[in-house]
Structure 1
Amino acid sequence: MSIQFQHIEPHHLLKKYIEKMWVFRSCGKIPLDDLKLVVPNGNLKLTVSYQNGIVAELNGNSFESREYDITLTGLIDVPVILDVQKDISTETLGIEFSPQGAYRFFHFTLNDIQNQIYSLSDIFGITGRALIEQMNQASTLVEKIKLIESYLLNQLSFAEEDLIFEYCIERITSSKGSVTVKELEKKTGYTSRWLNRKFYDKLGVSPKNLSAIIRFKEYYQLYINARENNFPLPSFYDMYYDQSHFIKDFRRFTGLSPTRFEKQTNQFGSSYYQD
């Protein structure tokens, strides 16, 4: 089974807001013995399924990014199992918006799509359907990328910066999820209740929840790229209070204990996270 994530450089005016952009390619369905697990990373995702579709299982629900559709995935804070729809060659374009970047493009309460996947036609109606039609008419990947970047640049022009929100996100990401809500209150002068409302509106989850996601993401990234995949890595001691805290978050974001996870094959999930 050939699985490939090809990373693409975003338009220079979008780099500040897009954490990564990629094309996923597969020659067919992911093998049955592969876990197909993707853990949360704090990004909202726009997916262009132009050759075959993608199926996602999360929270006991099934979502489809159908062929010839464009879907928006809200911020995910649970483990996701992914596979392609049909056992045929697959190509999908993905754009992942950083936690501080998504609100600049999607001007509605992002908590409404948290742990959900929607077609752009369902979110934006006529505008969404028009973009999907344009993308389907584009015959090459280069043309599709130019179209989606043009759309995003137009969306960006309508949004104003929220400096308080972006400051809080920067503190959470730069501290690798270790900053506390009390520290954010002290630095910004705003209450935790106000900050929670701000985060639910512009991201979809609370500052505390995002911190947990970012902390585990940092650990998991190190684990995936380590030569020897044994739990816990030495960095565990810098990120978690104790082993019980670590195991609790590990189960939450992977659905498995560290011991069970080590015994699984997760080529798809590892390929997604590898540098």
Structure 2
Amino acid sequence: MTTGFQFRKIDQEDDLFDYVYGFSALENISGISNGVIIPNGRVDLHLYKTKGGEFCISLVGLETKPKSMREDEITTLFSISFNPLGIEYILQRDIAGILNHGEKLSPDFWDYRESDLDDFSAFCEKSLSMIVSLIPGKTDPRKKQLFDLIFQTNGEMGVRDISQRINWGERQINQYFNNQFGLSLKAYCNILRFQASLAHINNGQLFPQLNYYDQSHFIKEIKRLSGASPKELFKNENNRFLQFLHFNSK
């Protein structure tokens, strides 16, 4: 059985990108053998239906390590991938307490229904309408500058340099990250650098293209965050590493 995957990315020039990275749909999940989810620096709101027919909504915090996918329990999964500012300003909460795991939300969150899993395009439009209605009139400009900078540089800029560029103290930035997201800015930047490296690995570039110290450091970091070597990720046997479905869907 072929696994169905759809992805709709928000354009980086769109003001909405401050809050949302994109939307995805994964169907026929049973076609994936030993699926692995690896850190991507985003926070996912999932709508899904179990094999037992239960409709569920959950919010999954940031991931700092690979985890196995529950392919035996879920048939269809629609997701919104939020950028960090979306958690604070759209969902209006912190996620420090759900680092590396998630929590179930009310089944009527944002007035979603089981029927929303029938049409991915309609799901995207309904979700976008809700998100746009929740965009605040004003945000902290330092936080916007912070995330603009670390996304533009794929997490390669050091914390001190970031602090100086946006005129916000290192200690205050890390306090914000730990309280809001459950990890330090450096740890988050390492995830963004790792994610940027996946595109290179997908193209067969198995040597560091970003600012890793050397090949040994590169392999160690890739293994720490994915549980696999660059070569294993490139092969991606049986589509185990789900983020690579995104690259191959373009």
TM-score, structure 2 length as denominator? 0.82
Instruction: Check whether the contact 2:18–2:85 (CA below 8 A) recurs between aligned residues.
Output: no
Instruction: Check whether the contact 1:3–1:25 (CA below 8 A) recurs between aligned residues.
Output: yes
What displacement does 1:240 show? 1.2
Instruction: Check whether the contact 1:43–1:96 (CA below 8 A) recurs between aligned residues.
Output: yes
Tell me the equivalent position of 1:103: 88
Which secondary structure state, in structure 2, belongs to the residue aligned with residue 176 of structure 1?
Answer: coil
Does residue 213 of structure 2 align to residue 241 of structure 1?
yes
What displacement does 1:148 show? 3.4
Tell me the equivalent position of 1:217: 195
Tell me the equivalent position of 1:153: 132
Which residue identity lines up with residue 195 of structure 1 in the other structure?
I
Task: Report 1:126-165 matches (<5 A).
Answer: 129-131=107-109, 134-136=112-114, 140-141=118-119, 144-157=123-136, 160-165=138-143
**1:8-49 deviations in Å (ceiling 9; x for gaps):** 366977454211111111163423xxx522321100001110
Q: Distance in 1 between matches of 2:5 and 2:51?
A: 16
Q: Distance in 1 between matches of 2:111 and 2:43?
A: 22
Unmatched 5+ stretches in structure 1: 54-65, 122-128
Does residue 30 of structure 2 align to residue 28 of structure 1?
yes
Q: Distance in 2 between matches of 1:27 and 1:259?
A: 24
Q: Distance in 2 between matches of 1:13 and 1:138?
A: 25
What displacement does 1:262 show? 5.7
- Decide whether aligned partners of structure 1 residues 208 and 2 sit closer, same or farther in structure 2, where only a CA change above 3 A counts: same
Which secondary structure state, in structure 1, belongs to the residue aligned with residue 4 of structure 2?
Answer: strand
**1:52-99 deviations in Å (ceiling 9; x for gaps):** 48xxxxxxxxxxxx8401110111111122142348xx3211110123
Task: Report 1:9-158 matches (<5 A).
Answer: 14-26=16-28, 28-31=30-33, 35-50=34-49, 52=51, 67-86=54-73, 90-121=75-106, 129-131=107-109, 134-136=112-114, 140-141=118-119, 144-157=123-136
Tell me the equivalent position of 1:63: none
What displacement does 1:273 show? 4.4
Task: Report 1:259-274 matches (<5 A).
Answer: 265-269=237-241, 270-274=244-248
Q: Identity of aligned pairs, percent?
A: 23
Q: Distance in 1 between matches of 2:37 and 2:221?
A: 15
Q: Distance in 2 between matches of 1:247 and 1:27?
A: 29
TM-score, structure 1 length as denominator? 0.75
Unmatched 5+ stretches in structure 2: none
Which secondary structure state, in structure 2, belongs to the residue aligned with residue 239 of structure 1?
Answer: coil
Tell me the equivalent position of 2:4: 4
Q: Which one of the candidate residues 135, 149, 152 is aligned to 1:174?
A: 152
Does residue 226 of structure 2 align to residue 254 of structure 1?
yes
Instruction: Check whether the contact 1:24–1:91 (CA below 8 A) recurs between aligned residues.
Output: yes
Q: Distance in 2 between matches of 1:133 and 1:144?
A: 11
CA-based RMSD: 3.0
What displacement does 1:179 show? 0.6
Instruction: Check whether the contact 2:110–2:130 (CA below 8 A) recurs between aligned residues.
Output: no
Which residue identity lines up with residue 6 of structure 1 in the other structure?
Q
